[in-house]
């Protein structure tokens, strides 16, 4: 891209070719160069992606071209798109992200949908374990303005980021606390506990692919079978749930049977697993 007279269409063609040649993907499974190029260029132009389709012949100025080249260079090295542009859209929210937390995934929106279909009171108390960016807690708070939502995370950087996201969306009523799982909420009870905990096996080859290479391992891995944190959460959660309170857990698509067994072993009932958009069991829930 030495020529400063580049249209949007030409810039996208160049970027797609660059990323494809580096075999860049966001999950290590499929090439996402076309989508990544569009998202990165839209961020450079401070526009939505639809703008690129509407005005493909628009010329970029020198500053925009230079910034786009820098973005594509970073992406070619494997850096996640969300880290490059500084945000990720989740549910109805645009959330700031950082390398200190897990990047919110579209699959986690299933957890929000499941919770919204549960029968819960208008003033329910909700706990989000391992809140990260605050995505789950803030999404639930936007849909239920009278819920008392608390998000906790072991990382002080995550708590600061989630608090910043809450302020950005004027959701200061959502409280974020630094805590190693339930340690900082002793003697409190909740009508709903939700969590997207670490659930990848310590030696999983997936950890060497895609975006996860740039995310904190503490937010990803959990023992030899990936279930250490889920076992801990389930074993403790009944003490923090009200009668008929719900526990909702996101997990790996091959773990639904094990998570179901763990919930059953600790006396939960009405246990069921829900499928994501790919038809894979992604979230399992149980009632106290």
Question: Where do the CATH 3.40.50.150 domains begin and end in the chain?
Answer: 92-287
Buried b (16+ CB within 10 A) or exposed e, 195-205: bbbbbbbeeee
Closest to 189 measured CA to CA, from 239, 121, 240: 240
Q: Which residues contact 137 (CB under 8 A, 6 or more apart)?
A: 126, 128, 131, 149, 150, 151, 162, 174, 176
CA–CA separation, 167 vs 135, rounded Å? Answer: 13
Provide the token pair at 71. 């973005």
Distance of CA 6 to the CA centre of its chain: 34
In this structure, the number of other CB atoms found within 10 A of the CB of residue 213 comes to 14
Provide CATH 1.10.8.10 ranges for the chain: 8-85
| Residues sharing a CB contact under 8 Å with residue 191, sequence separation 6 or more, in sequence order | 120, 121, 124, 125, 126, 241, 242, 245, 246
The whole-number pLDDT of residue 1 equals 61
CATH architecture of 92-287: 3-Layer(aba) Sandwich (3.40)
Residue bearing tokens 């909740």: 190
| Confidence at residue 4, expressed as pLDDT on a 0 to 100 scale | 64
CATH architecture of 8-85: Orthogonal Bundle (1.10)
Return per-residue pLDDT of the chain as tens, 288 residues.
655 678 999 999 999 999 998 877 655 445 689 999 999 999 999 999 999 999 999 999 999 999 999 999 999 998 999 999 999 999 999 999 999 899 999 899 999 999 999 999 999 999 999 999 999 999 999 999 999 999 999 999 999 999 999 999 999 899 999 999 999 998 899 999 999 998 887 777 666 667 777 667 777 767 888 899 999 999 999 999 999 999 999 999 999 999 999 999 999 999 999 999 889 999 999 999
Global confidence as pTM: 0.89
């Amino acid at each position: 891209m030495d020529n400063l007279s580049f249209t949007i269409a030409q810039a996208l063609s160049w970027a797609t070719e660059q990323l494809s040649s580096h075999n860049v993907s966001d999950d290590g499974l499929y090439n996402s160069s076309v989508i990544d190029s569009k998202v990165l260029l839209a961020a450079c132009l401070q526009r939505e992606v639809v703008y690129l389709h509407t005005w493909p012949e628009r010329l970029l100025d020198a500053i925009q071209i230079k910034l786009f080249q820098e973005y594509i260079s970073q992406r070619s090295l494997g850096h996640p798109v969300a880290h490059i542009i500084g945000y990720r859209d989740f549910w109805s929210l645009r959330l700031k992200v950082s390398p200190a937390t897990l990047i919110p995934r579209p699959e986690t929106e299933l957890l929000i949908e499941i919770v919204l279909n549960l029968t819960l009171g208008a003033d329910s108390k909700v706990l989000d374990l391992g809140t990260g960016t605050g995505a789950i807690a803030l999404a639930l708070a936007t849909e239920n303005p009278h819920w008392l939502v608390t998000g906790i995370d072991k990382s002080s950087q995550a708590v600061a980021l989630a608090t910043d996201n809450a302020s950005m969306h004027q959701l200061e009523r959502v409280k974020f606390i630094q805590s190693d799982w339930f340690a900082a909420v002793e003697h409190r009870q909740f009508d709903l506990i939700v969590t997207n905990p670490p659930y990848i096996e310590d030696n999983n080859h997936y950890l060497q692919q895609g975006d996860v290479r740039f995310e904190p391992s503490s937010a990803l891995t959990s023992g030899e079978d990936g279930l250490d944190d889920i076992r801990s959460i389930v074993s403790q959660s009944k003490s923090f749930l009200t009668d008929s309170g719900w526990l909702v857990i996101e997990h790996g698509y091959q773990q639904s049977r094990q998570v179901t067994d763990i919930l059953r072993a600790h006396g939960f009932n009405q246990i069921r697993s829900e499928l994501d958009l790919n038809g894979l069991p992604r979230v399992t829930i149980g009632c106290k």
